[in-house]
Amino acid sequence: MTQHSTFEDALFRLKSLAELANLNHEVIEALLHPKQMMEVSLPLRMDDGSKKYYSAYRCRYNNYLGPTKGGVRFHPNVNEDEVKALALWMTIKCAVVGLPFGGAKGGITVNPKELSPMELERLSRAYMRGFADFIGPHLDIPAPDVYTNSRIMGWMMAEYESIHRTHAPDVITGKPIELGGSLGRDDATGRGAYLCTLELIKKMGWTLTDIKVAVQGFGNGGYHVARLLQQAGCKIVAVSDSQGAVYSESGFDIESLWQEKQQSKQIKGVYCDDSVCGIIEHSTITNEQLLALDVDILIPAALEGVITKHNAKDIKAKAIVEIANGPILFEADDIINTKGIKVIPDVLANAGGVTVSYFEWIQNRSGQSWSLEKVQSQLKEKMTSAFDTVWTLAENDGLTLREAAYVNALKKISRVIEAQGTRQYFVSR
Ligand code: NAD
C-alpha cells in the first residue's frame, strides 16, 4: 500500500477541488508548484561548548495575493514535505478570509524542550540569519506556530533589525505587545475557531448548553477555543496533549486545568493527588480514544494527519472544527462526508491567527495601536463574514464546507493569475 506524504495528500485535495472550481488548466498548474523552497543548516553552539547542526526550512508557496505569510514551527518532525503542505494551506487560508497575503511556512527540525533558554534564543536568531534575504515586511512575514511563541518572534525581529540596521516591527507578527505585537493576538486562533463554531451551532439549530466538546491538543489554539466555548455554555468533556488525554462526563473547568498544566507541564499530571482530582471525576484516555468519543464537536488542535481512512469510521462527533492544519487526510474526506459530519476546514477554522497577524502588520506599518475591542470586533467581522460566504456557497452549490472554502479561495487566486494572461489570451492575439 502506498503511503502518501503530507504534501502529496494536500496536492491531491487541491487538484480535486480545483477541478470542482472549474479552474483553467494553467491556473491549476501554477498552484501545484511552490515558488521557493529553501533549506539551511543552522549551526548552534550549545551551553556545554559543543556544536550541533539543525535543518531549517522556509517555503514561500506563492505571492499572487500579496507578500507571503506563515508561521515557524520548532518540532522534531519538521521536514521539507510538511513545510510545503503547510505553506500551501496558508495560501488557501489567506484567500478564504480575504487577506492581502500569499502563503508561506517554515520550521526547524528540533525538539525545543531539550534546549536551554539561551540555546533557544541562539537557534531562533540563527533561523532569521539563515533566511534574512527571503524575509521582509514586503516579502515574507513569519509568525508563531507549534512550539514557537511571542518571545521567539521578538528574538527573530531583533535579529532581522540588526542584520538590516533598521527598525522593522512589520517583519514578523505574534510579537510581545511591548515590541509592537497586537492586543488580541494570543487568543486569536482559538477565538476565530470559536466564532466559526458559534455560527455553525446557530445554523444547525443546536443549543449551546447541550453541546459536548473534545479537544485534541491543549496548546495555544486548543486552550483558547475550549475556554471560550466553556464560557458560552458548552461542556468540554476531554482535552489532551502529547502525553495523553483526560475525560470527564461532567466537563472540565478549563481555566483551572490550564493553570495546573502550566505548573505540571502535562495534562496527565493535572488531575492527580492534591490538585483537582478530588473535585472532578475523570478518567485518563489515549489521544486515539479521544478522537472516537461520543461528543457533538471534535476539535483536533495538535498536528496534521490524525484522522485517516483507518480511524475515520470510528468518529462519532456531529461536527469537526479543524484548528490544527490538515488533521483530516484527503483519503478520509469521503468517509467523514458520508457519515454526514460537518467539518469546518482548517483554512477557515484556524484563520483567526493570521487575521490578527494581519491587523498587527497594519498597526506596525501605520504606527497605530488598536484597542482590544477594535481587534476583537474586526476579527469577528472577518470570521463571521468568511464563514457566511463559505456556508452560503456550500448550501447553494451542494458542497461541503471544505469544498466551498477551497472553491471560493481558488477562484480569488485564479483571477489574479488570469489577469496576467493565460494561453487563451496569448493565442487569441
Ligand atoms: P502549541 O504548541 O501551542 O500547542 C500544541 C499542543 O498540541 C500542545 O498541547 C502539545 O502538547 C499538543 N500535542 C503535540 N503533539 C500531540 C499529539 N501527538 N497528540 C496530542 N496532542 C499533541 O501549538 P498551537 O499554536 O496551538 O498549534 C496547534 C495547531 O494549530 C497546529 O497544527 C498549528 O499549525 C495550528 N495553528 C496554530 C495557529 C496559531 O496561531 N497558534 C494558527 C493556525 C493554525
Ligand 1 binding pocket, CB closer than 6 Å: 144-147, 189, 216-222, 240-242, 287, 301-303, 323-325, 350, 353
Cα 165 to middle of ligand 1, angstroms: 34
Cell of 245: 488525554
Atom of ligand 1 nearest to the CA of 147: 2
State in Å: Cα 296 to ligand 1 middle: 21
pLDDT tens digit string along 316-353? 999 999 999 999 999 999 999 999 999 999 999 999 99
**Cell numbers describing residue 270:** 493535572
Q: Is 345 exposed, middle or buried (0-12, 13-18, 19+ CB in 10 A)?
A: buried
338: left (phi over 0), alpha (psi -120 to 50) or beta: alpha
The pLDDT, as a whole number, for residue 345 is 98
Active site residue 105: yes
Q: Cα 378 vs. chain centroid, distance in angstroms?
A: 19
Phi, psi (deg, nearest 5) at residue 212 = -105, 135
Ligand 1 centroid vs 218 CA: distance in angstroms? 7
Name the average pLDDT for the chain: 93
| Per-residue pLDDT tens over the stretch 148-206 | 999 999 999 999 999 999 999 999 999 999 999 999 999 999 999 999 999 999 999 99
Instruction: Answer whether 39's CB lies under 8 Å from 55's CB.
Output: yes
d(CA 359, CA 185): 9
- Cα(31)–Cα(410) distance, rounded to whole angstroms? 9
Our mutation pick for probing the ligand 1 site, out of 303, 321, 322, 383, counting the most ligand atoms within 8 A of Cβ, is: 303
303: confidence class by pLDDT, cuts 50, 70, 90? confident
Residue that is written with C-alpha cell 518540532 in the block: 75
Q: Active-site residue among 105, 175, 235, 261?
A: 105
Mutate to test the pocket of ligand 1, among 108, 145, 383 (most ligand atoms within 8 A of CB): 145
Which range (124-138, 159-173, 271-285, 365-379) has the least confidence?
271-285
Grid cell digits, residue 348: 477557515
User: Ligand 1 centre and the CA of 219: distance in Å?
Assistant: 5
